[in-house]
Amino acid sequence: MQADPVERLGDLFDTHQPRLYRLARRLSRDPEEARDLVQETFLRAARRPASIPESAKGAEAWLVRILVNLCRDRWRRLKVRREAHHQPVWSMGNTADPESVASARSAVQRALNRLRPRTRAIVVMHEIEGQSKAEIAEFLGMSEVTVRWHVATGRSKLRKELSHGG
């Protein structure tokens, strides 16, 4: 570990903030909530600088776990479960159409909001960020079987939310 925790945490912030913000944005409802999540993640790291793993990958996984746990805590605290508005969402043939893209974003956001935080994080990391199930298992400190279960559950719910036409 570096002698100066300020310098080390500064390096961690510069290195991992962009990725953490993207993940937070995919796990939250709006940009403001994503910024809060990222800041709270690093504030927790600042309160326990000696707990941050030495290796770069270990530190990144540690920060991601904190972020996911913060999402889960927030979700439990607020008990936010947005009512589903089963709207028509997407047309495969109109992906270049700005209106269709905006509609898809809105639908995806709503569908993601229906997932539980951990399932949501795993689906996002696998389907959007492209991480393998083994990598996700290592990142989040869980078994690969559990990750597969979350992926399957998340896909099923998303499919139901996104496919349900009105």
Partner 1 sequence: MAADRKNLSDDELRKLLNLGDPAGYGDEPAPEELNAMRRTVLNSIDTSPAAQPWFSRSLTTAMATVAVALIAISILLQAGPWGEVLQPATGPVTPAEPAPPTTQEPPPSQTVAAVEEVPDVVVTEPSPDSAAELPAAAEESVVAEEPPALAAMEESQGLAAPSEGRQPRTVQFTAPGGTRIIWTLDPDFQLPVSEPDSQARGEL
Q: Rule CB under 8 A: which residues touch partner 1?
A: 5-6, 9-10, 13-14, 17-18, 21-23, 25-26, 28, 31, 35, 38-39, 42-43, 45-51, 87-92, 95, 100-101, 103-109, 112, 123, 127-128, 155, 158-159, 162-163, 165-166
- Secondary structure of the chain in the HEC alphabet? CCCCHHHHHHHHHHHHHHHHHHHHHHHCCCHHHHHHHHHHHHHHHHHCHHHCCCCHHHHHHHHHHHHHHHHHHHHHHHCCCCCCCCCCCCCHHHCCCHHHHHHHHHHHHHHHHCCCHHHHHHHHHHHHCCCCHHHHHHHHCCCHHHHHHHHHHHHHHHHHHHHCCC
Query: 48 or 82, CB closer to partner 1?
Result: 48
In whole angstroms, how close is the CB of 108 to partner 1 at the nearest point? 3
In whole angstroms, how close is the CB of 18 to partner 1 at the nearest point? 8
In whole angstroms, how close is the CB of 30 to partner 1 at the nearest point? 8
Query: 10 or 141, CB closer to partner 1?
Result: 10
Query: 78 or 166, CB closer to partner 1?
Result: 166
